[in-house]
Structure 1
């Protein structure tokens, strides 16, 4: 425990500028969420969704008969997630690697001005280039996820008595989640425009905090919207692989937002507000000096004019 406290005080790798209590709280919470997500991902890999839906159907009609049938039946092949499949591995790698890449390159820009030097000192153009890099990484990740879901098995509901109705219900909720996530993501992007993609690392700051929808309801609406869209896509396609990838994506988003991006953004804005306050004080001081100088000049002119009258 003492070693953990010392690490939290001396090694601000993920939570730069934060207090040790905040670091300890975020670290415990992240470990808990990581454990829960790993357990959920492991369970989803072996979750027989068609059999689970059949449970609900049979329990309403003949629970005893269902228990006898379910005991002799193995897990459906359409519900398994093949983690050894190349498309699933590529999707997992792209999900984990994408935020690591853009956060690492953003830190290089903050500490060494990498992107600004590449664009010969044009910070605005460097930020636009970095924004297109993030969009390209997200596009590649979405392609990998789409391919992994499309090549995986689909939940077979044909053996259910109400299989067609259940499929329509799953499609409805999938479309609802996807539409909700799209509204959150697009409205957040509309509010921030290019300020969505880490402009603080390039010295570009918003003049004031955005407090309109969706930021008045959610702290990270675009990450939340993207996660909801992936959950909705998985339900629409009736894919266990899609659900596992959506859980992993949500965990990666939570770690990136809460432990890496958000604390460092607060630190950068605190430095910027401190710099603006010093500039305002310097401008006020220069203005006061100008007033004193003008007053002194007026007094000198008045004294000279009075002395001329006396002579």
Structure 2
């Protein structure tokens, strides 16, 4: 695959910002929900696209690392073990976030009007805010350290920066929709 096709999202997460824009468009217009006949089907479809692009991004990340020279200072057993630990922690955060949020909670369901009863505050959300993003970042960092890749380290920094920008947009939105939901529930009781 040429870098011009895969490049924009191979830096780790640029697609997340674009999908937030799609989510906000859906929230305002409900066009996807109407087109798919259901907000759930629309959300599952968009989530599937996001998953496929994440696979592509991870593949591009790996290919970029493997095509570049290794960093001698990271090419040792201690660094390899650190990489494994980072992958373990990252995977724990990603998977536990997914199980706590469910598919629709993970993949923009709030923009489709699919909300949990309340904002999730159980593990891993009681340990770190945005554990899916930080777990994913830890996975990329672990993968880079495992491969002793300076390219992987640089791309991981880019992943983290893009996720930080996504959080700046996502956090206020999530807080507001759950505030509105609580306000509506309070008025009904």
TM (norm. structure 2) is 0.89
1:143 aligns with 2:52: no
Please name the residue that 1:213 is paired with: 123
Deviation at 1:192, TM superposition (A): 1.3
Which of 12, 15, 32 matches 1:95? 12
Matched residue count? 185
Deviation at 1:150, TM superposition (A): 1.2
Q: Distance in 2 between matches of 1:250 and 1:113?
A: 31
User: Conserved in 2, the CA contact under 8 Å of 1:94 and 1:140?
Assistant: no
Cα 1:172/1:91, change in 2 over 3 Å: farther
Instruction: Give the secondary structure class of the aligned counterpart of 2:12.
Output: helix
Give structure 1 stretches of 5+ with no counterpart: 1-85, 158-162, 282-311
Q: How does 1:3-14 map to 2 (within 5 A)?
A: none
1:240 aligns with 2:156: no
Cα 1:234/1:94, change in 2 over 3 Å: closer
Please name the residue that 2:86 is paired with: 177
Give structure 2 stretches of 5+ with no counterpart: none
Deviation at 1:250, TM superposition (A): 0.6
Deviation at 1:226, TM superposition (A): 0.6
Please name the residue that 2:100 is paired with: 191
Q: Which protein has the larger Cα radius of gyration, Structure 1 or Structure 2?
A: 1
1:165-197 Cα deviation digits (max 9, x unpaired)? x61111111111111111111111111111112
Please name the residue that 1:3 is paired with: none
Q: How does 1:86-165 map to 2 (within 5 A)?
A: 86=3, 90=7, 94-95=11-12, 97-120=14-37, 122-156=38-72
Q: Distance in 2 between matches of 1:182 and 1:207?
A: 26
User: Conserved in 2, the CA contact under 8 Å of 1:153 and 1:239?
Assistant: yes
Q: Distance in 1 between matches of 2:64 and 2:40?
A: 36
Q: Distance in 2 between matches of 1:210 and 1:240?
A: 36
1:222 aligns with 2:132: yes
Deviation at 1:123, TM superposition (A): 1.2
